[in-house]
Structure 1
Amino acid sequence: MGRISKMEKSISYLILCLVGVLLFVPFVYMLSIAFASDATTVKAAFTFIPLEFTFNNITRVFTDYHMGTYLKNSIIITLWTVVGSVISASFVSYGFARLKAKGSGILFAVLLSTMMIPGEVTMVPQFIIFKELGWINTFLPLIVPSFFAGAFNVFLIRQFVMAIPKSLDEAAMIDGMGYFGIYSKIILPMTYPILSAIAIFSFSYNWGNFMGPLIYINDPEKTPLALGVQLISTAAGGQVPPWNMVMVASLFLTLPMLIVYIFGQRFIYEANISGGSAGIK
């Protein structure tokens, strides 16, 4: 391949800038609505460029709409699911990558085949199981499944681990280290980039998870932020929804995911580069 000309590079950057501006437009409009006054909200006289800066909306969403409770619940659920996703997936993938047992290939194929099952198919059976366990209206249906290693996460980490030379394992065994010691002291530190990427994916999904809390949570005191935004939009009781409060809540829902991705994109990039030869794309 020849070198990219300056003209081609300029066109590429121009297209990227236009796409970036297009994607940034809804965020600017959200800011404009979030800081609008109640009078503007009732009239729905919103402007694209923010003309009002009612910063009191930020405090009001906490005092009048239980934002503190929603944030606390989201933090609890998200932290536990991230921990569960990373630990369980790394442990299971290490077993598939390093512990060769009869039928392990078939088990791995069965695990991957679960990725083809739509979530709508298992939604009702899962609800019945959690209901029989008495977990409805608790955080457990949202947290416990993450400790059972998602198939996609296991696949990514397994491919990453298979790219690590087995000579490191053999040298550790000669020194008297067992499988768990190899996992915790050799494999785990070397898979830090892919584990960080999985943690970011898990955080983004669970922080914005709406369907799970909608199904399993009935108590407003246990409602996470994603479902709380919907509750705020219906707080007016059939009148004009308080769109400025809804957008303030949406800011709290959006900003953490943006911040996590901005500071964590380096790990996603490292995971793709380091695991590219192993099939991570």
Structure 2
Amino acid sequence: MSQTNTEVISQVQINQKASARSKLPKIILRSLRYLVLTLIAAALLLPLVWTISASLKPSSDIFSVPIKWIPSEFKWDNYSRVLSIFPMFQYSANTLIITISAIIGQVLSSVCVAYGFARFRHPLANVIFLLVLATMMIPGQVTMIPQFLMYKEFGWVNTYLPLIVPNFFAAAINIFLLRQFIMGIPKELDESAKMDGCSSFGILTRIIAPMCKPIIITIMIWTFNANWNDFMGPLIYLNDPEKFTLQLGIYSLNAGQQGITDYGMMFAATLLALIPTLLLFAVGQKYFMSGIKLGGALKG
């Protein structure tokens, strides 16, 4: 009996050792994976760390070689001078007007167009949808000059209209994500609503749109980020300094614009301009990630 117990114990020990040996490669692989991800994250964060360091340095130390990651003298007044000399709040308000209008335009137009592609049948629906997706392959540089000439004829130069109005014509990527999501919603819900006397518009506003909340929040975050950080559009269309957006205003701190070459203050203004984007992503991160996952996973 004791010999049998000894054999059982020995077999258990052998199994445990075999299990430990089989787990060892998985542990090593997981450790290597985390190491690679950590290195990639550190490489991506390095420019941000340098910007933070530069915003606290005197201008003479910013471009020194080798790089001084820790400032020899902390210039906290770079931030106070940004708020006192640089019209930060005026430029932020101008940018916010454009950004909020763009978000409203993108959400309204994208939801309506995607709903049409997902629910209404037409012989050319797929062809038109492919044409819409094909517009994503056209570089913005190709349409930049024709758009400027067109808006100039409209008298929209030096106004916010060229930066706002195009957002009321849905972006192809937003249409694609919403269409994929809507096609994953059972059509039985639409039919039940129709039996209760609900119109197509009512189905969209009462059933489809609320269920598309993750994708809509994702679109809002994308649109906010694109318009809040937009530099090329305001540079092309805005001439009046009082109408400058935040990114264009930061650019104006360069010598030759306002005669100021204070890079410490420029980096401080850049970091302050980055705060709303970081806060928005932190708040909407859950919806952003789920929106990307659902929009790409659902089949159309």
TM-score (norm 2): 0.85
- Give the distance between the partners of 1:26 and 1:18, measured in 2 at CA: 14
1:261 equivalent among 261, 281, 297:
281
Alignment of 1:202-213 (within 5 A): 202-213=223-234
1:238-267 per-position Cα deviation (integer Å, ceiling 9, x unaligned): 77x210111011102322222222222211
2:99 aligned with 1:78: yes
Matched residue, 2:268: 248
1:145 correspondence with 2:166: yes
Structure 1 position 11 matched with structure 2 position 32: yes
Return 78-87 or 213-222, whichever deviates more: 78-87
Q: Does 1:132 align with 2:115?
A: no
Q: What are the Cα deviations for residues 196-215 of structure 1, in whole angstroms up to 9, with x where unaligned?
A: 11111111111111110110
Provide the aligned C-alpha RMSD in A: 2.5
Q: Please point out which of 197, 200, 210 is paired with 1:179.
A: 200
CA pair 260-50 structure 1, distance change in 2 beyond 3 A:
farther
Rate the CA distance shift 1:43–1:104 in 2: closer, same or farther, 3 A. Answer: closer
Aligned residue runs from structure 1 range 218-229, under 5 A: 218-229=239-250
1:278 lines up with 2:298 in the alignment: yes
State the match for 2:11 in structure 1. Answer: none
- Residue 5 of structure 1 aligns to a residue whose secondary structure is helix
The aligned residue for residue 234 of structure 1 is 255
Distance 1:38 1:125, change over 3 A: closer
Pair 38,270 (structure 1): closer, same or farther in 2 beyond 3 Å: closer
State the alpha-carbon separation in 2 of the partners of residues 276 and 119 from structure 1.
24
1:26 aligns with 2:47: yes
More moved, 134-143 vs 250-259: 250-259
Taking the aligned partners of 2:141 and 2:44, their CA distance within structure 1 comes to: 30
Contact 2:180/2:296 (8 A) holds in 1: no
Match of 1:169 in 2: 190
Deviation at 1:269, TM superposition (A): 1.9
Q: 1:273 to 1:39 in 2, by over 3 A?
A: closer
Q: Output aligned runs, 1:86-125, within 5 Å.
A: 86-125=107-146
Q: Unpaired runs of 5+ in structure 2?
A: 1-21
User: How far apart are 1:194 and its partner, in Å?
Assistant: 0.6
Distance 2:40 2:63 in 1: 32
After superposition, the C-alpha distances for 1:204-236 in whole angstroms (9 at most, x for unaligned) are 111111110110011111111111121112268
Q: Which secondary structure does the structure 2 equivalent of 1:71 belong to?
A: helix
CA distance in 1, matches of 2:98, 2:50: 29
What 5-or-longer segments of structure 1 have no aligned partner?
none
Matching residue's letter, 2:297: S
1:78–1:203 Cα contact (<8 Å) kept: yes
Structure 1 residues 191 and 247 mapped into 2: Cα distance closer, same or farther (>3 Å)?
same
The alpha carbon displacement at 1:171 in A equals: 0.6
Query: Shift in Å at residue 161 of structure 1?
Result: 0.4
Please give the per-residue CA displacement for 1:46-80, whole angstroms capped at 9, x wherever unaligned: 72124433332222112212222221111111111
Question: Partners in 1 of 2:59 and 2:71 — Cα distance?
Answer: 14
- After TM superposition, the score normalised by the length of structure 1 is 0.90
Contact 1:229–1:249 (Cα < 8 Å) also in 2? yes
Task: Verify: 1:66 aligned to 2:87, yes or no.
Answer: yes
Q: Distance in 1 between matches of 2:70 and 2:47?
A: 11
* Matching residue of 1:55: 76
Runs of 4+ in 1 over 3 A off after TM superposition: 37-46, 50-53, 235-239
Q: Report the CA distance between 1:40 and its aligned residue.
A: 5.0
CA 1:39–1:103 in 2, change beyond 3 Å: closer, same or farther? closer
Contact 2:253 2:259 in 1 (8 A): no
Question: Does the CA-based 8 Å contact 1:236-1:242 persist in structure 2?
Answer: no
Structure 2 CA distance for partners of 1:236 and 1:177, relative to 1, 3 Å: closer
